Amino acid sequence: MTSREQLSSERLAESVVLVTGGTGSFGETAVIRALQGGAAEVRVFSRDELKQDLMRQKLSDARLKFYIGDTRDPSCFGDAFQGVDYVFHAAAMKQVPSGEFFPLEIVKTNVLGSSNVILESKRQGVRAVVCLSTDKAVYPINAMGMSKALMEKVAQAHSRDGISDTKIVVTRYGNVMASRGSVIPRFISQIKSGEPLTVTDPNMTRFLMTLPESMDLVEHAFTQGHQGDLLVRKAPAATIGQLAEALKLIFDSEVPVKIIGARHGEKLFESLMSSEESAVAEDQGDYFRVPTDYRDLRYEAFFDEGGLVLSDVHAYTSHNTTRLTDEKLVAVLEQLPLVEEEKRTWDK
């Protein structure tokens, strides 16, 4: 066990962990990781009672407690935050297309809901809150990304109050492979039904990481993050065209690829750090740490005084990160539990 893992286990042992959005892909993985880390109690706060019941049956652990509620409405927090040591805030609206039609709904959940969670955590004396963000928050062009960018600003503003001892850290992710609603499950479903793989643009690149890797970032944030930090895990990338061809190879399929064009709000590539963030980022090996701006409400520090030296540093994007080879991508995909299960149960 590494020193980081030992520190993580020591922190989790006998602690109370709350996961908002705990029945989603990120949330469930965080719940399982906390249980495995020896937490005394793990609380799931979410809206869907059916998903909660399915999780209750699936995990069957007496340390697991469920709370029904919506982060938009702090009056329903009740006892959920009392006595909590660590909060992982994963509750969010994440679908880009729906956000373009209902931007105010995304703001209510991703921005106001996040602020509610942080304020309640501070009121209850929670030790640390880790908020989940996305690469779409960097140079955002869609409502979902814009809401996550504003969520980050809200979290960092709360971290600068100088009053609360609650540590607030933001983690930023790229695409998590095989997570609910992502492209890999859709491609597999199309392959198994003999339909063409609908690819938006084969040249699009996306960061790729596994759910366990995403949870490593959460643990790093809880144990190593400083107040107001933005933490990013380094990740390789692949094109969407590569991804489609790799899955066809794994499932020995000859279904055609149908290029449908980019959807509203999509980019050719994503960024995990802007060029401005890259200029001040600290390289921590597998991670980047972007410290928050600790200037206070003396407005001259914003309007009259400089300080930041702008240099020719590039953004950290899915176009300039390490690119997975076709062979490596196939190897990574074959190790995903979803791909293993779908391949094992598929009767061609």
Give me the active site residues, please: 136
Which amino acid appears at position 23 of this protein?
Answer: T
CB 64 within 8 A of CB 44: yes
Where does residue 111 rank: exposed (0-12), middle (13-18), buried (19+ CB within 10 A)?
buried
Q: Strand 257-259 and strand 197-199: pairing?
A: parallel
Q: List residues bridging with 173 in a β-sheet.
A: 134
Please state the φ and ψ torsions of residue 92, each to the nearest 5 degrees: -170, 160
- Tell me the C-alpha distance between 217 and 233, whole Å: 6
Of 297, 163, 184, the closest CA to residue 251 belongs to: 184
| Gyration radius of the chain over CA positions | 20
DSSP 8-state secondary structure symbol assigned to residue 170: E
CB 174 within 8 A of CB 209: yes
